[in-house]
Amino acid sequence: MGKIANLVDVVCDIAKCPTMVGNTAKKDISPLLPMRHPQRDFFVCDIFDAAPKSDMASMEHPLFTLSTKPDMTPRRYEHNGNWLELNPSYLGLATVFDRDILIYCISQCMAALNEGRQISRTMRMSAHDLLVATNRTTSDKGYAGLKAALERLRNTSLQTNITKDGKEVLRGFGFIEAYEIVRETREGRMQALEITLSDWIFDAIDAKDGKILTLSPQYFHLRKPLERRLYEIARKSCGSKNSVWRYRLDTLQKKTGSLSTAKEFRRMVKTIVEANKESRHIPDYSFELDDDVLVIRPSSNFTRIYQEPELISTIDRVQISTKGYETARKFAGGWALGFLETEWRMMLSNRKSIPENANGSFIGFVKNFVRKNGTAR
The residue among 48, 57, 49 whose CA lies nearest residue 80 is: 57
- pLDDT digits over 220-275, tens only? 889 999 999 998 888 877 754 456 888 999 989 988 999 999 999 999 999 999 99
For the chain, give every domain's residue range. 2-22+34-220, 225-303, 320-373
- pLDDT digits over 17-52, tens only? 433 443 434 444 666 665 565 554 444 554 444 332
Query: Looking at residues 348-369, what average pLDDT do you find?
Result: 80
Do 213 and 45 form a contact (C-beta atoms < 8 A)? yes
- Mean pLDDT lowest for which of 167-181, 270-284, 344-358? 344-358
Architecture of domain 225-303: Orthogonal Bundle (1.10)
Instruction: Report the pLDDT value the prediction gives residue 272, as an integer from 0 to 100.
Output: 96
- Whether 54 shows a pLDDT value over 70: the answer reads no
- Mean pLDDT lowest for which of 123-137, 251-265, 272-286, 327-341? 327-341
Instruction: Report the pLDDT value the prediction gives residue 303, as an integer from 0 to 100.
Output: 56
How high is the mean pLDDT of the chain?
Answer: 77
Instruction: Report the pLDDT value the prediction gives residue 317, as an integer from 0 to 100.
Output: 64
Query: Looking at residues 149-165, what average pLDDT do you find?
Result: 85
Instruction: Report the pLDDT value the prediction gives residue 112, as an integer from 0 to 100.
Output: 77
Query: Looking at residues 299-319, what average pLDDT do you find?
Result: 58
Instruction: Report the pLDDT value the prediction gives residue 24, as an integer from 0 to 100.
Output: 39
DSSP sequence for 288-314: EEETTEEEEEE-HHHHHHTSSHHHHHH
Do 189 and 167 form a contact (C-beta atoms < 8 A)? no
272 Cβ contact list (under 8 Å, min separation 6): 224, 226, 227, 230, 282, 287
CA distance 190 to 40: 20
Do 315 and 306 form a contact (C-beta atoms < 8 A)? no
Do 135 and 40 form a contact (C-beta atoms < 8 A)? yes
Query: Looking at residues 289-306, what average pLDDT do you find?
Result: 78
- Whether 11 shows a pLDDT value over 60: the answer reads no
More confident residue, 179 or 190: 179
